[in-house]
Amino acid sequence: MALSYQYISQRDLQVLWHPCTQMRDHEDYTPIAIQRGAGVWLEDYDGRRYLDAISSWWVNLFGHANPRINAAITGQLGKLEHVILAGFTHEPIVTLSERLVALAPPGLARCFYASDGSSAVEIALKMSFHFWRNRGEARTRFISLSNSYHGETLGALSVGDVALYKETYEPLLLRAITVPSPDCYQREPGESCADYSTRLFAVMDATLARHAHETCAVIVEPLVQCAGGMRMYDPVYLKLLRAACTKYDVHLIADEIAVGFGRTGTMFACEQAGITPDFLLLGKGLTGGYLPLSVCLTTDDVYQAFYAEYAAQKAFLHSHSYTGNPLACAAANATLDIFRDDDVLNHNRQLAAHMANATAHFSDHAHVAEVRQRGMILAIEMVQNKPTRSPYPWQERRGLAVYRHGLANEALLRPLGDVVYFMPPYVITETEIEQLAKVAWEGIDRATR
């Protein structure tokens, strides 16, 4: 039987359980069966195309089926597909680690690898806790921001604050301390984002003053809270936070799993504040969006706290089977080659300016409260009432209507609630940006009628 869209989707529904999905929704529409991708485009088995405006869950940087990344993985495949990383090593991972240490903010000197982003978050939480324990201190708390997201495993959920994902599992979670986010959408009329972020920092400072003795680390998503609706804040908050973490002797974990690798305009978001965290977490775009690989970079200070005679029982005995997979490392090295050779960040500045121009008129829409942007992330906040900014009842699923409109018009837009956003691969063209803006405008206009 020929591989038709319908045939695959129907078989899918007999045996799969999809991530982040109420499966009953698929009684109304089947999963879209994709047969190939090229650049920013995905193509289904019926030949329909979709412009991937969300980089397939924020992972893809240089397009689907990128010839340079394909070649790197194919080349590696002929040599070594995988090897245990405990007691063994390989050239692609050594090269990748040298390059990441060179690229990351100064002072980050060691790379500990995992697979998905959530597992890198778990590593940072455990490593920070264990650091203090090796130092003879029994600290157990973590501080994080309201509206933050760090993944779905239990430790990561504990430091996250998106109720939709977290609430059900609350009885199973660590007791994190949540401090109000400096999210500039909440600022007073006429107040600058920098002033608002600075003002909000007072709560973080007071929390640190009260809880530092029992706190392992503060964990934040630098500059953009992505899953929390692409909410953005000013770099000044990170600057103040770095200084306070140093002052109170608490670790700072920068979760750049979503915002790393150029999304915010700089290679890493922390650069815009000129800070070095104690832990920098990277994933998603690390392999150009090809294979699961994540990494927790940390300082020599942290590393040395674990370095001892085996009998001292200070080692970090954490592992995942596919840690440091050579194919994934080859994809990551090819991704870094593209950054090195193609002046990517400069080119992205032009693309970001074009996204801003193409969506400038959205702020005039009667149901758009804000259009915000940081680098290659642009978000449009749909609301029921523009003057009061009151949202639509979530049960109305207005964002879903935009999603459906997008799919019918060659665009994969996947709003977060009522926030429509673009976070495209960096190979998008200006014409494609205009196309996206057109579909998004029509989708928003229809969904808010």
Contact positions vs ligand PLP (CB under 6 A): 116-118, 121, 149-151, 221, 226-227, 255, 257-258, 283
**What token pair was written down for 39?**
């650049």
To the nearest whole angstrom, how small is the minimum distance from the Cβ of residue 120 to ligand PLP? 7
Which residue of the chain is nearest ligand PLP when measured via CB?
Answer: 117
**Amino acid making up residue 234:** D
Taking the least distance from each CB to ligand PLP, the nearer of 8 and 230 is 230
CB neighbours of residue 9 within 10 Å: 17
97: its two tokens: 């680690």
CB of 368 to ligand PLP, least distance (A): 24
Query: Looking at beta carbons only, is 412 or 444 nearer to ligand PLP?
Result: 412
Between 374 and 405, name the residue whose CB sits nearer to ligand PLP.
374
Do the beta carbons of residue 117 and residue 283 sit within 8 Å?
Answer: yes
CB of 160 to ligand PLP, least distance (A): 8
In angstroms, what is the minimal distance from the CB of 59 to ligand PLP? 8
Minimum Å gap between C-beta 144 and ligand PLP is 11
CA angle 342, 420, 289 (to 5 degrees): 35
Could you count the other beta carbons within 10 Å of the beta carbon of residue 52? 26
**Other CB atoms closer than 10 Å to residue 428's CB: what's the count?**
24
* DSSP classification of residue 448: T
Judged by beta carbon, residue 129 or residue 149, the one nearer ligand PLP is: 149
Cβ of residue 117: shortest distance to ligand PLP, in angstroms?
2
Per the CB < 8 A criterion, the answer to whether 208 and 218 are in contact is yes
Cα 269 to Cα 184, 202, 300, 316: the distances in Å are 17, 22, 22, 28
What is the torsional sign of CA 17, 21, 22, 23? negative
Residue 211 or 263 with smaller CB distance to ligand PLP: 263
Q: Which is nearer to ligand PLP, 216 or 295 (CB)?
A: 295
SS3 231: strand
Q: What tokens appear for 99 in the block?
A: 């390059």
Cβ closest to ligand PLP, residue 20 vs residue 317: 20
Is 320 in contact with 117 (CB distance < 8 Å)?
A: no
Find the shortest distance in angstroms from Cβ 399 to ligand PLP: 17
